[in-house]
């Protein structure tokens, strides 16, 4: 039986920290509704104390969603925690996310605090948050660059003060698979509590390992993954939630864990975020990229046409994509070309297809891809070639600096 991995979506908070991204009020609400439809467990709707706009957005989301927990971010400041309370008090499931940095570099250069000061702040502010919220999540910012013994002390202090969710942020994308898993194993074995503690992973992609590290955290004992749709976020972005979810689904044999996401809403959710963020999803992006279910190699196309699982480990329909694409290009073979003709409505015998295929290959060698329009032109040109009344002999175009343009066209009829 698979264990349940909670999904904590921070597209509206960490995702909006992507340079150039600034969702409108209406866009934030629409995104939240789609995330609820997708089935995420918790939405970090924003940082209420940061601005009036953020406060109002979090408040509106909290008042609108019916099943998903709504979370607000707060520094270890009572005014921040109060702002989250006021913004989320009407939510079906309000959550506060309290954080403070714990790494030596942050303590020395940003906070100007000692370790003892940090521990005292954690105790004071988590205790205060627990008076207002049933669920308090605590994050030791830059956890992966924090000495492990001190990290254990910070987490134990937060748990003793009432936190029931502990998030371990790889704030600058510094950690790697085994190291990150070891942190979770150490915490789950060292921190004691009479309450059930949920450990959560929050990974950044600075070294391209956010998804890998998130999965490693599950192996280390994490039961919640934080991330964003399409992996958007500060610098190189966050763990892409769609990739984590599908990795768990496809490799359930290894992880033995699943999310509660409605996977068929994945592509729709990705497209919505892409449109509102103004960030095009790369064609080769895993799960939701345009090429994710496309096969151009002739060998691959032939295999997929015979049996999909030869080159696909999941169906496009699983994530809400209507069908597998077989784009035609210079590597496409006769089988794929024949299937394309059928898809376009042509019934052409095999002997006639031989010449058409030669024409197709000639075009494919000159173009990056061959469109349906190109295929239509090949066929129509072949069908009507004998009916041609004129032949283009030469075409000369002239353009001079004055702006005058001219063209000289020479055509010949059958008689020359």
Domain membership flag for residue 286:
no
Q: Are residues 330 and 258 in the same domain?
A: no
Decide if 112 is inside a domain: yes
- In the chain, the largest separation of any two C-alpha atoms, in whole Å, equals 99
SS3 track for the chain: CCEECEEEECCCCCHHHCCCCCCCHHHHHHHHHHHHHHCCCEEEEECHHHCHHHHHHHHHHHHHCCCCEEEEEEECCHHHHHHHHHHHCCCCCEEEEEEEECCHHHHHHHHCCCHHHHHHHHHHHHHHHHHHCCEEEEEEECHHHCCHHHHHHHHHHHHHCCCCEEEEEECCCCCCHHHHHHHHHHHHHHCCCCCCCEEEEEEECCCCCHHHHHHHHHHHCCCEEEEEHHHCCCCCCECEHHHHHHHHHHCHHHHCEECCCCHHHHHHHHHHHHHHHCCCCCCCCCCCCCCCCECCCHHHHHHHHHCHHHCCCCCHHHHCCCCCECCECCCCCHHHHHHHHHHCCCCCCHHHHHHHHHHHHHHHCCCCCECHHHHHHHHHHHHHHHHCCEEEEEEEEEECCCCCEEEEEEEEECCC
Does 243 lie in the same domain as 374? no
Task: Please check whether residue 285 lies inside any domain of the structure.
Answer: no
Residues 136 and 71 placed together within one structural domain of the fold: yes
Q: pTM for the full model? A: 0.79
362 and 271 assigned to the same domain: no
Q: Tell me what pLDDT residue 383 has.
A: 45
109 & 254 share domain: yes
Residues 7, 13, 16, 22: what is their CA dihedral angle, to the nearest 10 degrees?
130
Answer whether residue 293 is part of any domain. no
pLDDT value of residue 339: 78
pLDDT number for residue 384 = 44
Residue 20 lies in a domain: yes
Per-residue model confidence (pLDDT) at position 385:
45
| 71 beta partners | 44, 95
Residues 239 and 335 in one domain: no
Predicted confidence (pLDDT) per residue in 247-273, tens digit? 999 999 999 999 999 999 999 999 999
What is the number of domains present in the chain? Answer: 2
pLDDT of residue 301: 53
Domain match, 357 and 209 both: no
Q: In CATH, what number is assigned to the domain containing residue 272?
A: 3.20.20.70
336 and 236, same structural domain? no
Residue at 219 is within a domain: yes
By residue range, what is the domain housing residue 379? 325-387
- Whether residues 264 and 346 fall in one domain: no
Which residues of the chain are under the pLDDT cut of 50?
295-296, 300, 383-387
Residue-wise pLDDT tens digits, 90-103: 999 999 999 999 99
Q: What pLDDT is recorded for position 190?
A: 98
């Amino acid at each position: 039986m698979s264990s349940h991995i909670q999904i904590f979506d921070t597209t509206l908070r960490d995702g909006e920290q992507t340079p150039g991204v600034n969702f409108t009020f209406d866009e934030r609400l629409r995104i939240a509704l789609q995330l609820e439809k997708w089935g995420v467990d918790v939405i970090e709707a924003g940082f209420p104390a940061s601005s009036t706009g953020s406060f109002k957005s979090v408040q509106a989301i909290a008042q609108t969603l019916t099943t998903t927990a709504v979370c607000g971010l707060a520094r270890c400041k009572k005014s921040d925690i109060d702002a989250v309370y006021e913004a989320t008090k009407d939510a079906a499931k309000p959550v506060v996310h309290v954080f403070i940095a714990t790494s030596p570099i942050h303590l020395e250069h940003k906070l100007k605090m000692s370790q003892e000061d940090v521990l005292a702040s954690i105790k004071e502010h988590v205790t205060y948050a627990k008076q207002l919220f049933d669920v308090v999540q605590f994050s030791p910012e830059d956890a992966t660059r924090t000495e492990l013994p001190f990290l254990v002390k910070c987490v134990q202090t937060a748990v003793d003060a009432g936190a029931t969710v502990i998030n371990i942020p790889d704030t600058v994308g510094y950690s790697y698979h085994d190291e990150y898993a070891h942190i979770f194993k150490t915490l789950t074995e060292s921190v004691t509590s009479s309450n059930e503690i949920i450990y959560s992973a929050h990974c950044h992609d600075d070294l391209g390992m956010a998804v890998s590290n998130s999965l490693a955290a599950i192996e280390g004992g994490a039961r919640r993954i934080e991330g964003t749709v399409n992996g958007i976020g500060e610098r190189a972005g966050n763990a892409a939630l769609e990739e984590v979810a599908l990795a768990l689904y496809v490799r359930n044999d290894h992880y033995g864990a699943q999310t509660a996401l409605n996977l068929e809403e994945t592509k729709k959710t990705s497209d919505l975020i892409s449109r509102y963020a103004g960030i095009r999803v790369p064609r080769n992006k895993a799960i939701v990229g345009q090429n994710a279910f496309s096969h151009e190699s002739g060998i691959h196309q032939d295999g997929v046409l015979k049996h999909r699982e030869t080159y696909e480990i999941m169906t496009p329909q699983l994530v809400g994509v209507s069908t597998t694409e077989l784009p035609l290009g210079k590597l496409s073979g006769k089988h794929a070309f024949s299937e394309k003709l059928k898809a376009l409505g042509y019934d052409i015998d095999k002997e006639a297809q031989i010449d058409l295929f030669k024409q197709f290959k000639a075009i494919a060698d000159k173009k990056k891809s061959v469109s349906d329009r190109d295929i239509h032109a090949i066929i129509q040109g072949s069908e009507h070639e004998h009916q041609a009344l004129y032949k283009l002999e030469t075409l000369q175009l002239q353009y001079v600096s004055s702006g005058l343009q001219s063209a000289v066209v020479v055509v010949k009829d059958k008689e020359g």
